[in-house]
A and B are shown apart, each in its own frame.
Chain A
Amino acid sequence: MISLALHYLAARKKQTLLMLLGIFFGTASFTTLSGLLLGFKDYLVNQLVNNSAALHVEPARDGGFIAHPGAWYRRLDADPGVAAYSPQLVSPAILSLDGRTASGRLVGCDPGRQARVTTIGDYVVKGSWAGLAGGTGRLALGAELRRTLGAELGQKVVASSGAGAPRAFTVVAVFQTGVRQGDTQAYVPLADARRLDRAGGKVNDIAVRLKDYTRAGKTAGAWSRLGPERVESWDELNPSIVNMFKAEDLVRFLAVGAVMLVAAFGIYNVLSMTVVQKRMDIAILRSMGYSFGDVLALFLWQGLVLGACGAALGCLAGWGLGLYLRTVSFGGNPFGAGTGRLAVSLSPSIFIQAALLALLATCLATLLPAWAAGKLNPIEIIRAGAE
């Protein structure tokens, strides 16, 4: 029955095209919208999880230090769920260069450990992260701070923080994460930070990278029962963003649901009309011995062909559009990735979802007219045709 179904579709090019366009636009808009929203989500999660780690172990009270860091290190070393961790000494700092000053956060850390816990190394736009590890008196500067200070690689920036005397640091790297909070930070080796802060062997933050970041919430809950320290997961720190993702998913499916509904309704209308127009064909097919199932298949195939073609073309268009959107520059806009480009997800699951949705919509839209066609009584049509 496929070939006859194709003949039917080919015979009514305009309607076929319209039905195809409906499915096409439904699928294309679903993939593009999903690509944008999921790309944005990936980007944000990446920012949140990888820029500042999935979990943070923090002092029991603000401004304090972690009471027994050694115990935590042993615990983290032993935990199979932990990918890496990096003790940090974080403090507010004033940076100055040639009379220009900027305030930001100074993060003291082991550069090697830090690079294993966060993706900070990927965001270096000038110099190299590895340069930070080469000795003392070196500093990696966030792009915002660099702009305010007008600092260049190799220049000496004076930092003052907490109780210690101001010290000069050579800029060995500049990084740009695309998020203001991240770009107003500066990293220095842990030892330097301690000297600056007169903090001895203390730390006030342990950034932890988990093998599976989705387990962050559960892990945080378990760990916070172990000691006085607070353990916070990335999603606890950003509850509004997690809620936003849920809202986004809803919006995505509602918007696409509406498009698909319109497309499905179009198919339903056209095929219902076709069934009426082709009553004679159906009657004569039945008189030749074609069964209810054959006639049902004749119309189901039409829908299936439309759905499959529309979905394939829509996915292709969505994919192409996604690739194009990836090249669109968005400057420092938060929608842009660190590279200043739009983050668009082209994950296969989006296309599988889109294709399944399109096929489901067409099948549902086709089933009713096809069933009606199969149920037509051939003799009534022939009797009516003779009158």
Chain B
Amino acid sequence: MGLSAKNLGKSIGDPPARVLSDISLDVAPGEFVALTGRSGSGKSTLLHVLGSLDPATEGEVWVEGREIGAMRPDELCHFRNRRMGFVFQFHYLLAELNALENVLMPARKAGEKDRRRPHAEALLRRFGLGAKVHRLPRHLSGGEQQRVAIARALVMEPGYLFADEPTGALDSANGQVVMDILMDCNRRLGTTVVLATHDPEFASLAGRRVHLVDGRVKAD
């Protein structure tokens, strides 16, 4: 079970440029994996492919015993909604909605907005935003915005959390807060975390490092 990639390859663009080549990777449930590598090595691309956002051009991705490429679009949407959480370098919060409503967006899709509300509020409190749940994103600091985005990714209690340089736009103090949240989540809830980062310090906090060079796994 868990997450596994089999001989994954990915080309992007027209004409196709090879970004990932022959990647095979098994991530056990509850693992904390850091994807490292230089800029342009393919970290983000691998993360998107593993997270079902981007289809692979070669090979297969299996999550919880199911092959992502074989899922129907509606199954994929449902699966993503229930099992996957994403955090990006930029928070992508909806500007019109307050922090709490943003966190509840995945629950709204699932039809569990009211049921998940206490959980959403608890997450925001735990992330030090208890007093700011009704603020619009533009009235929050960058670090706070990113924490709201993480709460949003966690509100459905997903099995997998994909984080693409979630600390990239933050100063080191805020970055550390975000890292602590991710590790806490991994340790206490058993969420499988895949983190793409080029920060060796943060990468060293992960239980496992996968180093990419030119779209290939160089060290595991």
Contacts and interface: CB of A to CB of B under 8 A. Distances in A.
Among A280, A284, A285, A386, the one with the most B-chain Cβ atoms within 10 Å of its Cβ is: A284
Contact of A289 (B54, B78, B92): B78
A247 interface: no
Given A289-B80, A291-B73, A281 B53 contact: no
Contact of B109 (A290, A379, A386): A290
Contacts of A7: 94, 96-97
Contacts of A378: 53
B198 interface: no
Contacts of B165: 386
A164 to B, nearest CB: 88
Nearest to B102: A284
B90 interface: yes
Given A379-B54, A386-B88, A386-B90, A287 B95 contact: no
B105 A288 contact: yes
Interface in A285-299: 285-292, 294
B106 A288 contact: yes
Interface residues of A, number: 24
Contact of B89 (A4, A283, A386): A386
Nearest to A292: B73
Interface of A is mostly: helix
Interface in A253-296: 280-281, 283-292, 294
Nearest to B90: A385
A290 B80 CA distance: 9
A11 B96 contact: yes
A281 B48 contact: no
Interface string B65-108: 00000000110011111101010111010111100000001100
B44 A10 contact: no
Contacts of A287: 53, 80, 86
Contacts of A379: 48, 53-54
B164 interface: yes
Among A378, A379, A385, the one with the most B-chain Cβ atoms within 10 Å of its Cβ is: A379
A382 interface: yes
A10 B96 contact: yes
Contacts, number: 67
A4 B94 contact: yes
Contact of B74 (A11, A286, A291): A291
Contacts of B105: 285, 288
A135 to B, nearest CB: 82
A383 interface: yes
Nearest to A381: B92
Given A4-B94, A11-B96, A289 B77 contact: yes
A382 B89 CA distance: 10
A382 B53 contact: yes
Interface residues of B, number: 29
A385 B84 CA distance: 20
Contacts of B95: 11
Contact of B94 (A281, A289, A291, A383): A281
A249 B63 CA distance: 63
A339 B158 CA distance: 75
A284 B92 CA distance: 6
A342 to B, nearest CB: 46
B77 A290 contact: yes
Contacts of B82: 289
Interface string B49-62: 00001100000000
A8 interface: yes
Nearest to B83: A289
A286 B81 CA distance: 9
A121 B86 CA distance: 81
Interface in B27-55: 44, 48, 53-54
B108 to A, nearest CB: 8
A11 B53 CA distance: 29
Contacts of B86: 284, 287-288
A386 B196 CA distance: 13
A167 to B, nearest CB: 86
B44 A386 contact: yes
A382 B48 contact: yes
Contacts of B94: 4, 7, 281, 284
A281 B88 CA distance: 13
B104 to A, nearest CB: 11
A146 to B, nearest CB: 70
Nearest to A290: B109
Given A4-B94, A284-B92, 17 more contacts: A10-B96, A11-B96, A280-B92, A281-B92, A281-B94, A287-B53, A288-B81, A288-B86, A288-B109, A289-B79, A289-B81, A289-B84, A289-B110, A290-B81, A291-B73, A382-B48, A383-B44
Interface of B: 44, 48, 53-54, 73-74, 77-82, 84, 86, 88-90, 92, 94-97, 105-106, 109-110, 152, 164-165
26 contacts: A4-B96, A280-B92, A281-B92, A283-B92, A284-B88, A284-B92, A285-B105, A287-B53, A288-B81, A288-B105, A288-B109, A289-B78, A289-B82, A289-B110, A290-B81, A292-B73, A294-B109, A379-B53, A379-B54, A382-B48, A382-B88, A383-B44, A383-B48, A385-B88, A386-B88, A386-B90
Closest 9 CB pairs of A and B: A289-B81, A284-B92, A7-B96, A289-B80, A288-B106, A379-B54, A291-B77, A11-B96, A289-B77
